Amino acid sequence: MTEKEKSQLGLLYNANYDKELIDERMYAKGLCYEYNQLHPGKISEREALLKKLLGKTTDRFLIEQPFVCDYGYNIEIGENFYSNHNIVMLDGAKISFGDNVFVAPNCGFYTAGHPYDVEQRNEGLEIVGPITVGNNVWIGGGVTVLAGVTIGDNTIIGAGSVVTRDIPSDVIAAGNPCRVIRKITEADKTKYRRS
């Protein structure tokens, strides 16, 4: 069984010394480098590179530069996805975003984890778990989302949060570790004035 097959089965695997995985990461990092060097105004060129890199895109999306990922093919973004500057996606496992997801600057989505056992960790072994973000989610600045987490639809994750476990739909959640603060209510619809 290859190291890539082990990772896809949720087993410990070695990403540090496996040629197939190293080559895939180098390919993705090369495309990220190209993407990050493009003039911000070259939107169609930026979209073309992301469509080449990512596993699934839609017609309408924008990822501000810089953007970094490990493999790219494990990332799926829904319609009207927007990410502000400096997003990092360590996509050893699938990272999927629904429609109308907004990600603030300096956020990280990390599917990789390492063994608690020091000997296994020192061998370079890791394990991955998917990250799933629902529809209509707003993720505040500086948020970290860890392996195996699902964030439900219509949820807001407050700035600076570290999301270590699932967060349900229709809530505001924040903190380290991130926890539900409250449900989103009808009153929230009128919180801000419209012109």
Catalytic residues: 114
**Cα-atom radius of gyration of the chain, to the nearest Å?**
17
DSSP state letters, the chain:
--HHHHHHTT--EE-SS-HHHHHHHHHHHHHHHHHHHS-TT-HHHHHHHHHHHSSB--SSEEEPSPEEES-STTEE--TTEEE-S-EEEE-SS-EEE-SS-EE-SS-EEE-EE--SSHHHHHTTEEEE--EEE-SS-EE-TT-EEETT-EE-TT-EE-TT-EE-S-B-SSEEEETTTTEEEEE--GGGGGSS---
Q: Which pair of structure tokens corresponds to residue 106?
A: 């300096």
Closest CA to 70 of 9, 116, 7, 10: 7
